[in-house]
Structure 1
Amino acid sequence: MITRVTTQMSMAAATSRLQAGAAKLAQLTDQATTLKAIGRPSDDPVGTATAMQVRKDQAANAQWSRNADDAAGWLATTDSALGDVYSVLSKVRDLTVQAANSATMGDADRDALVTEFQGLATDLASSANTKYGTRSVFAGASTAATVFDPTSGWASSTAPVDRRIGDGTTVRVDTAGASVFGTGADSVFATISSIVTDLQNGVNVNPRLNDLDARIDAVRGAQADVGVRHAAAITAQSSLKSASVDLEARRSSVEDKDLAKAVLDLQVQQTTYQAALAVTAKVLQPTLMDYLR
């Protein structure tokens, strides 16, 4: 069966092809202008789904990076505070040794030592209230303005403070102040107070060295623990930065258009469209007057 092709059918087919070419030309023009390979989901459904997943991964990576930065900053502050505490306790121990070996010490010398001990206790109290931002590093989840007072003790929370730095990976950023400074009669402040009392009463302070050594060991242990957690946070920072670069490369490969390729595709489509216009004009040129002649 032979199908008759009318002029109207030819014109409809040509118009459809020209409209498709014009639409493609408009799409490529938009891509060359914005350098985006996907203007709407229908342009590339598979690419759109991939891009959405990559952007989701980027958002999670960005949040983990902020958490890792916060963790590293918090733990660095804690490590610095523990260094100060260790330095002060070392001075307290040196003074205690000096006081224990000074059998002929006069009242003036004794008063000077007492003043030094009290000043060092004040320095320790300041370290116990060290803050990172608005949060106390030795107070767990507590939001109290002052978490330690030498007379009333700790106003801290036992709830730990964690930061999520990866998929299923967290790092604890707080350090229990009680484990560093002690509590009650076992606290370093009570020990210093006892040294001062013994010194004022002429009692040998040498037995207090064992208490000081125990507290110094506790500070060293806390420093080691904080160091391990700080290293984990720093490692996470580095890994997350690398992941951020990789994710951006993946996103760009799906969403972005290479400038050279975009310009080339546009030029090719422009040439193709112009050729289609020229051919269509020639094919559909005959009119009724042409047939009558």
Structure 2
Amino acid sequence: MTHQSVQRSTLANLQVNLSTMADLQAKMSSGKKINVPSDDPAGASDMLRLRGEQRAQAQYQRNADDGVAWLTTIDTSLQTTSTTLRRVRDLVLQSGSGAASVPAREAIAVEIEGLRDELLQQANTTYLGRNVFAGTSNAGVAFTVDNTTDPATYTFTGAANATVERQVADATTVRVDADGAKVYGDGAQSVFALLDTIAATLRTPDGDATAQLGAIDARFETVLTELAGVGARQTRVVNAQTSLVDAALTTKTQLSAIEDIDLAEIILELGMQEVAYQGALGAAAKVLQPSLMDYLR
């Protein structure tokens, strides 16, 4: 074996040691076991899949958050609507007690008209510029009123059978709007027209509007039914949010197991490689001692 062979072999071994140290230092500085796909092709493939799952979970979480906001807005509006209808019923009962004078019935009629306007406002409730009772319609309002007619005409302008939905899981889609025409009615069958009829009846000589109690109760039951449906859908979305949090934690744990280093192990291994490298340098210095003749050659 020639002197040059020993020299090349020693330098090659030193280069291997140095390359191993550089790789360990790169892992320690980045905190990742896989910095390029060639470090672990199978692990890199698993990382891409898990990161794709993370992006999907993040989107589902945004959808769920938006869905909860829609349903909460609807729930608040329906709660106010039910309270308003209770007040209308109480006023109608009060007017039909037989003790209500003409001025008293007029005052009740005025209050009922104010409650009608409040119901119309609730029916046109919006969230982020979208009407929650109009489906996918971009009309801006779910109900319009034409006061040029007598009685006034109320029209549902929402998109019929065009629901707003949010996907909160791979196979789970939840409706987040409400059918305004079902809740408040449309045209002459709307709750607004009903309150106009009650107010007009109270202004007649007889002034007995108790015949409308059945219609009020029917509309009230419709609101309660819709409230129950909204509550059930809201529960589904909240449950989906909980599942998404758990899934995100699981995915993060799996990803960490693939790509994150064991810092204590890396520090120990790097220390061992440094000792080996220093030993190799010392050995090479003793084996490769050039003489004057080596320089002259």
TM-score (norm 2): 0.90
Q: CA deviation at 1:52?
A: 1.0
- What residue number does 1:112 align with? 107
- What residue number does 2:163 align with? 160
- Residues 134-177 of structure 1 show CA distances to partners (whole Å, capped at 9, x for unaligned) of 21111111222222223342221121111010112111101010
Secondary structure of 1:36's aligned partner:
coil
- Residues 54-89 of structure 1 show CA distances to partners (whole Å, capped at 9, x for unaligned) of 111100000000111111111111111110000001
Work out the CA distance in 1 between the residues paired with 2:163 and 2:290: 86
Asked if the contact 2:156–2:187 (Cα under 8 Å) also holds between the matched residues in 1, the reply is no
- Residues 180-232 of structure 1 show CA distances to partners (whole Å, capped at 9, x for unaligned) of 10112221111111111111112421221111111011001100100000000
Residue 23 of structure 1 pairs with residue 19 of structure 2: yes
- What residue number does 1:64 align with? 60
Unmatched 5+ residue regions in structure 2?
147-153
AA matched with 2:25:
T
- What residue number does 1:100 align with? 96
Secondary structure of 1:207's aligned partner:
helix
Equivalent residue in structure 2 for 1:209, among 213, 220, 223 = 213
AA matched with 2:200:
T
Residue 55 of structure 1 pairs with residue 57 of structure 2: no
Moved more, 142-151 or 108-117: 142-151
CA root-mean-square deviation: 1.7
Residue 136 of structure 1 pairs with residue 131 of structure 2: yes
Please give the residue correspondences for 1:184-223 in structure 2 after superposition, counting only pairs within 5 Å. Answer: 184-201=187-204, 202-223=206-227
AA matched with 1:25:
M
- What residue number does 1:227 align with? 231
- Residues 253-284 of structure 1 show CA distances to partners (whole Å, capped at 9, x for unaligned) of 22222332222222122112222222333333
Moved segments of 4+, more than 6 Å: none
Work out the CA distance in 2 between the residues paired with 1:245 and 1:22: 38
Asked if the contact 1:150–1:189 (Cα under 8 Å) also holds between the matched residues in 2, the reply is no
Equivalent residue in structure 2 for 1:38, among 10, 34, 54 = 34
AA matched with 1:192:
L
Q: CA deviation at 1:10?
A: 3.1
- What residue number does 1:254 align with? 258
Moved more, 280-289 or 60-69: 280-289
Asked if the contact 2:183–2:226 (Cα under 8 Å) also holds between the matched residues in 1, the reply is yes
Asked if the contact 1:32–1:266 (Cα under 8 Å) also holds between the matched residues in 2, the reply is no
Name the count of aligned residue pairs. Answer: 285
Unmatched 5+ residue regions in structure 1?
none
Work out the CA distance in 2 between the residues paired with 1:30 and 1:194: 80
Secondary structure of 2:33's aligned partner:
coil
Work out the CA distance in 2 between the residues paired with 1:63 and 1:265: 40
Residue 174 of structure 1 pairs with residue 198 of structure 2: no
- What residue number does 1:124 align with? 119
